[in-house]
Structure 1
C-alpha cells in the first residue's frame, strides 16, 4: 500500500514476473472460491513508484454508474477474535473438548498483536512448505502437502493465498538500518521506532514461549515439529520482562542485535507492519463477536489498492436480506470508485487525510504535498509522542454518514467533527497524557494545547470587577502563550541541531534512497510547521499585549 504522489507522471509499468503471476493467480482464485471478486477490468502490474498495483483495462468515465472495484465476503476477514481462536485451536495443549487452547496459561496479547501473530505463523508455515521460495500456493495444494494428523496446522492455511501475496519489504522505521534510524533523530518518529522495537520484541518473546510450551519435541516430520525447530533456537536472546527498565539510548545502541540473535523476530516485525499498513476499522464489518477483543482487521483484496488523497471512494458493508440469505448470499464489504476508471491508469483507494508522520510510520511512504502534516506536542513528555495511527484502531480517519441494520458506508476521504479523534487537535495517550497536533494549516495555537497549559499555571486571585477579570484572562493567556513559545523554541532548536548531521548521514552509500527521500520530506514538513508555529505564537502574544494595553 503506497501513495499516488509521484504517479501523475505515469511512471513505467511492467508486467508481473512468473512467481508474482502464480501468487496473484492463487490469491484471486481463492478469493473467487470464497465468494469475492475484483472488477473484471482490473489487473495487477508493477508500477515503478508504487510497486504491485491494480490498473484498469478500459475506460469507465462518464457512464453514470459507480464502479465496484472489489467485493470481499466478511467470512474471510481476519479479525483479532478470529486470529486468537484459530491460534488457540492449532496450539491446544490437550485433546479434551473443554480445552480452548489456553491450557490454563492463557496468552495475553493486544488485539493487533493477535492479528500479527496469526500472519507471522502463516508466513512461517508457507516458508517451511515452500523451501523459502515464493511460488504461488493454492489452499488445496498447501493442504495436499501435509500429512493428515492431529499434529498438522491446517487451520492456519485457510487464508494462506492472501498472506502469500503480501509484500515482503515495507520499509517503515521499524525496519530501518541502524544508520537509517539516525535520519529520524530530533523527530517523534525516532523515539517511536525505538519503542516499537521494544514492544515487538516483548510480544514476540511472550508469544513464542507460549507456542513452544504447546509444541512437542517428539513429533518428527510434522508441521508442529518443524515450527518448533524454527522458533526454539536462541529464543532466550530476546526474552525480556515487560517491567524491565527501558532506555532509548540503550535500544538505539543495540538496534540490530536482537534480530541477528533471533531470526524469527524479523518475521514477527514484518507481520506487525503488515497489520499497521493494511488494517481497516472493525466497525466496517459490523460488531465483533467478542466486544472485549476489538481491534484492526485485515480485509483480503480491499487492501490491494494504493493510496491517493483525491480518490473518491466508499467502503460499504452489506448484510444480506432474508431472501438473499436463502439464496446463499454472504455478507460482504465492497470498495466503490466514484471518479471513474481510465484505461491503463492505476486504480486507487483513499486512506483519508493523514500526516506524513503516520504515513512514514505505518505505510513506508510520504505525501510530498505535506498538506495534512502535523507536529506532535506532549506536555511533560519524553519527547516521544506516538504517531496518531498508533493510538487509533483504524487505518484511516473515517466517519460513517450512513448507518442501518443491514449496511454501513464509510467515506475515508471525508472527516467531520463528529468523528472524534480523527477531527480533533488532541488525543489522550494510553499513559493519560494529552497529545496535541499542530497542523500545517493552523493559523492559531491549537485550543486544546492552550487550555492544557492554562490548567497547569498557578491559579490567580479572582478580580472583583469586569475590567479586572479581563486583565486576568489576558495575563493568563499571555503566560500560557509564553510557555508554549518556550516549548516550541526548544523543540525547534533540537530539531535544527539534529538537522546539521542529516546531510552527512544521508550521503552514506548503504542507505536506501527511498528511505532517505521519504525521511527528508517528513523532516521538511516538521521544520515548516515548527517555524510557522513559533511565528503564530509570537503574533498571538503581540495581540494579547495590545489588548492588555488598550484596557489599562
Structure 2
C-alpha cells in the first residue's frame, strides 16, 4: 500500500481547496488492489473536520440538469421534465466522458471523476459475470438485480435518445457502460440532500434527493463509526465565501490508519446491490417477505433473531381469524394454523436459497465469493430464527389448549409418518 499525493488525487485536493474546501493536511490517498482510501499521514485528534466540500461543487439534480441543457444548446423542446435524479446526473457525468475536458466549460467535475473507480473495478451485481449473478438465483437480491437492470436500461435509452436528437455523434457514444458507471456512482456514493440543511441529517424523506459530494465520499464505510456532518454558512464562526459541508470524525486516528465514514445501518442486500461490497455476519441483514394475496402488497423486512417478525405474525393470524375478532381472542387452532402458514412461507424461502458450497476460485472473483457467502449466511440465519419464532408460537398454542383441558401433541416430522403409512 502506498500513499498517493500526485495527480489525479492532488488535482482533486487542489480543486476542492481552491473552492474553499479540501482534505485535512495530515491525510492522504492510499491505493492498493482493493481500491483507494484516505489514511492519516500523522496522528489525528478526535472531533476534527477531515474533509469539506463547498456547495457549488456538490452534484445535484438541478446542477446536472442546467449543465446538460447548456451543453446541448438549451433546446426549446425539452420533453424530459419527468426524468429522475439518476437520469440527469447520469447524463451529466456521461457527457464528461463523451465530450472531453477541453470541449465544454459547463462540465465541471473532471477532477472528481478522475479519482473514481473505473467500470472494471466496480462490483455491484450489474457488474457481475453471468455465472456470478447466477450464484444468487432464488434470492431477493437476484430478482432486485434484474429489476434494476430493466429500469436503468429504460432510463438510459431515454437519455441517449434525447442527447442523440441534439448531437447524433454524442448519442452514439452514450453507451450503456457509461450510464451504468454513472448510476453506480450515484447508488454507492450519494448522500441524501437533507445533509445540506443547517441541521444535517442522513434520514431520507420523500422530499430528499440523492446528491454527490466530492471528497466527502472518498472515505470508505465502517459500521457504527461515530461521525457527524457540519454545514458552515457565510458570516458564521468560520469565514467562508459560500456554504460548505464538512465531515467530522469523533475518534482519534493513528498515523497510517484509514479514515472511515459511516453510511448508516444497511443490510448486505443493500450493500451488495448499491455499493458492491458486504460485511461478514452483518447485524443489519434482513429478509423480505410478502404475504401471498395481500391487498396492498405490503412487505416485511425481518432481521436477525426474527427482529420485526411480530408484524408479519399478526397479519397472518388476522387473515385466519373470524372477521371482527380481536387478536387476543385467537384460539389455539388459529395460532397453530398461523404458525403452519408462516413455516410454509419460510420453508419456501429456504428451499430457494442457493447452498453454501465451496466455489470455483478461478470462475468467481474473490470479492463476489465473499459477497455470496456473507449474503447467504445472513439469509439462512434469519430464516432459521423465523422457524424458531414459529416454534414458540406453537408452544403458546399448546399451553392455551392445555388450559382448556386439551392435551396437544404435535408431530415433529409429519412427512416421515406419511411415508410409513404408505
CA RMSD between the two structures: 2.9
User: What are the within-5 Å matches in structure 2 for residues 105-504 of structure 1?
Assistant: 105-125=79-99, 129=100, 142=101, 145-146=102-103, 153-156=104-107, 158-168=108-118, 169-215=121-167, 225=169, 227-231=170-174, 264-286=175-197, 294-321=208-235, 329-380=241-292, 433-442=297-306, 446-457=309-320, 459-460=322-323, 462=325, 470-472=328-330, 475-495=333-353, 498-499=354-355, 503=358
In the alignment, is the contact (CA less than 8 A) between 1:73 and 1:333 conserved in 2?
yes
Q: Which runs of 5+ in 2 are unaligned?
A: 199-204, 406-422
User: Is the CA contact (8 Å cut-off) linking 2:161 and 2:171 kept in structure 1?
Assistant: no
Alignment TM-score, normalising by the size of structure 1:
0.66
How many angstroms does 1:358 deviate by?
1.1
CA distance in 2 between counterparts of 1:470 and 1:298 reads 49
What's 1:247 paired with? none
Q: How far does residue 348 in structure 1 lie from its aligned partner after superposition? A: 0.7
Is there any run of 5+ residues in structure 1 with no aligned partner, and where? 1-12, 130-141, 147-152, 218-224, 232-263, 382-427, 464-468
Describe the SS at the equivalent of 1:377: strand
Task: Provide closer, same or farther for how the CA distance between residues 91 and 530 of structure 1 changes in structure 2, counting only shifts above 3 A.
Answer: same
How much does 1:293 deviate? 7.5
Distance, in Å, in 1 between the alignment partners of 2:331 and 2:91 is 53
Q: What is the DSSP-based 3-state SS (H/G/I as helix, E as strand, rest coil) of the residue aligned with 2:211?
A: coil
Q: CA deviation at 1:334?
A: 0.9
Within the alignment, does 1:56 sit opposite 2:40 as a pair? yes
Which residue of structure 2 lines up, in the alignment, with residue 10 of structure 1? none
Question: What's 2:367 paired with?
Answer: 514
Q: Secondary structure at the match of 1:499?
A: coil
Q: Does the C-alpha gap of structure 1 residues 478 and 110 become closer, same or farther in structure 2, counting only changes over 3 Å?
A: farther
Change (3 A) 1:462 1:451: closer
Q: How far did residue 471 of structure 1 move?
A: 4.4
2:132 aligned counterpart, secondary structure: helix
Quote how far apart the aligned CAs of 1:119 are: 1.9
The separation in 1 between residues aligned to 2:259 and 2:237, in whole angstroms, is: 33
1:154 counterpart SS class? coil
Task: State the shift of 1:432 in Å.
Answer: 5.2
Tell me how far apart the structure 2 counterparts of residues 272 and 451 of structure 1 sit (CA, whole Å): 39
- The number of equivalent residue pairs is 398
CA offsets 1:450-496 (integer angstroms, 9 cap, x no match): 23324544634759xxxxx854365544433332111001111121x
Change (3 A) 1:551 1:124: farther
Aligned to 1:530, the other structure's residue is in SS state helix
TM-score (norm 2): 0.86
